[in-house]
Structure formats: structure tokens, C-alpha cells
Amino acid sequence: MDVIILNLVQTSSADAVIDKVVAAGIPLVLINREPLGDNGDESYKGILDNATVCYIGADARQSGTYQGEIVAELPDHGDINGDGEIAYVMIEGDPENVDAQYRTEYSIKALTDAGYKVKELDDQVGNWAQAKGQEIAANALTQFGNDVEVIFCNNDAMALGAAAAITAAGRTVGKDIYLLGVDALEECVQMVNEGTMTGTVLNDHVGQSHTAVDVAIKALNGEPIENYYWVDYVKVTK
């Protein structure tokens, strides 16, 4: 092989994979799943120590931040009942996945950084699954009723489940509750346009894949490459 573009299944295997490819003298372009450094940040030595290895992806912190900003930019800033705080339910993906961790943290951080008070009513793991998202949302709406003002979901599949639970509970998105996802699935973009979902965030997979090929060609030509290339997420609102 002249060059490898690799989407890791297990980021914990990154060390072994990178060492093998570097030893074989093959340029390596990692895409989509970021191996993290010892401090949980992007300073991963396996990439930084090798001039022919790079990572291309979107910063999951940005996707969470965009979710929070969508709420902050609403006319009532997510505070539907006007009590001075945003009461929310968080539905997380895989708790070991860094995207889930960052989306959970940074969606709320965007609100608090903007000066808004928040109140966590519930935070449950839905493992990216629509059925689990529906179950968690249904339970939260039963337990907390009209106190629930915003439901954050780490991905659109769980948001679709939450949307079904919202409808079943007799609530209306945009009127007495808000719903956020990530992925910009075609169905969810349509829901955003129809007003049955507040917003989602596009992970620009086309931008990532095109950047990966551009960088791979650079590496093939012997041109210097950076260790990291970031592709921006895109806010999707009505």
C-alpha cells in the first residue's frame, strides 16, 4: 500500500496500529474517530510523534456547543416557564465515546458561559439507540412533567425516539418543550423545517472524506502534512 486512510473501530487500538504503519513506512490518515492523549485531549503522542500520521475529523466539543447555542438563541433562551433557569433532560450516547462526553458537557457549558442558569432534571445513557431515547424521554416526561423545558440528545436517532415520547405525552416542540439532536439525518432536518424538532448539528462527513483524500495525495507526493485537520460542524435550524 502507498497510503492508508483509516477509520478506527476501537480508538484504544491506535497505538498498535500507528506503530505498525509507521514501521512499514506508509503515510497514515486517521479519520472520524480520534485517538485521545493521556489527558483526554487531542494531544495524542502517536500522531504528534510522526510526521507521516495525521487525524481528520470534527471536534465534538463544537457539536455540543452548537446545541447549546441553538437553545441560547431562542426568543426565550429555553426558559419556557420564565422561572430564570433552563430545566433540561440529557440523553447520552455511549459513555465511553468521547463524542458523547463532549456533547454532554459542552451543550450545557455553552448555556452557562452565556450567563444562563441551568437545572439538570435527568441524565441517562441511551447508547445512540432510538428505542432507548424514547424510553428515557418518556420516563422523564412522566416523572418531571411540564418542568422539562429542553431535551438534549447526543445524536438524532435518540432524538427521534424522544420526539415520539414528546408527542405521546401531549407536548408540542417549539411551544412547551425544545428538542435537540446531532447528525442532521434527513428525517430530522425535515422535522426541524416543520418545527417538530428545535435543531440538530451536521457532522460534515463529506468535508472530512474529501479532506482525507486531499491530505493523502499530499503525503503520497512527499509534501509535508499537519498532524490535525479540523472540519467544522454546521448548525441546522429552521
Domain range summary for the chain, segments of one domain joined by +: 4-58+204-232, 60-202
pLDDT tens column, 193-204: 999 999 999 999
CA dist 52 and 105 (Å) reads: 32
- Per the CB < 8 A criterion, the answer to whether 97 and 40 are in contact is no
CATH number of 4-58+204-232: 3.40.50.2300
Say what the pLDDT of residue 43 is.
61
What pTM was estimated for this model as a whole? 0.85
Say what the pLDDT of residue 104 is.
98
The mean pLDDT value of the chain amounts to: 94
pLDDT band at 41 (very low <50, low <70, confident <90, very high): low
CATH number of 60-202: 3.40.50.2300
Sheet holding 178-180, edge to edge: 117-125, 85-92, 150-153, 178-180
Mean pLDDT score, 20-35: 93
Say what the pLDDT of residue 103 is.
97
pLDDT tens column, 112-146: 999 999 999 999 999 999 999 999 999 999 999 99
- Per the CB < 8 A criterion, the answer to whether 18 and 47 are in contact is yes
3-state secondary structure of 133: helix
